[in-house]
Amino acid sequence: MDSLTLARTIHLIGVILWIGGVAMVTTVLIPAIKRFNSKEEKIETFEKIEGRFAIQARVTTLLTGATGFYMLYELDAWERYLDYRFWWIHGMTLIWVLFTVMLFILEPFVLHKKFKTRAEKAPERTFRIMHRLHWVLLILSLIVAAAGVAGSHGLFFIK
């Protein structure tokens, strides 16, 4: 197996674990927690499970970014950023940057404290807003992932 094939394999597994985890949090975890009766139970359960997933998300996000940029380097495909037909590369990069900033900067230094404060005061509203934001991230991620697969196999959505 050559290095490019290995990078593609790691990249794909990283995306599956990362976006699949986001899907699980969005479609299973948050809806289940929203049904809990006590706000303490909601907050404690969410933080325990989300904290464990954050580790997986950080590792897979780093692997996905590293392998993505390695593939661009190895294929000398940087000019694709200048071609609007490769908008999905811009999309993948943007989603990666967004999640990387969220996971490594905003969540540990800003959002964690804000979540706890807001969830103590208004748990239903806090979980509702968080759930909507997760849906937006999941939908954008799935659109870009689908476009990336199609685009990398020669399907251009824009001529």
pLDDT band at 157 (very low <50, low <70, confident <90, very high): low
Map tokens 């359960």 to a residue: 45
**Mean of pLDDT values over 61-68:** 97
pTM: 0.90
pLDDT the model gives residue 102: 95
pLDDT band at 85 (very low <50, low <70, confident <90, very high): confident
Tokens standing for residue 119 = 């969830």
pLDDT the model gives residue 96: 97
- Judge whether residue 130 has pLDDT over 70: yes
* DSSP 8-state symbol, 76: T
- Judge whether residue 146 has pLDDT over 90: yes
Burial 103-125 (b: 16+ CB within 10 A, else e): beeebeeeeeeebeebbeeebee
- Judge whether residue 87 has pLDDT over 70: yes
- Judge whether residue 156 has pLDDT over 90: no
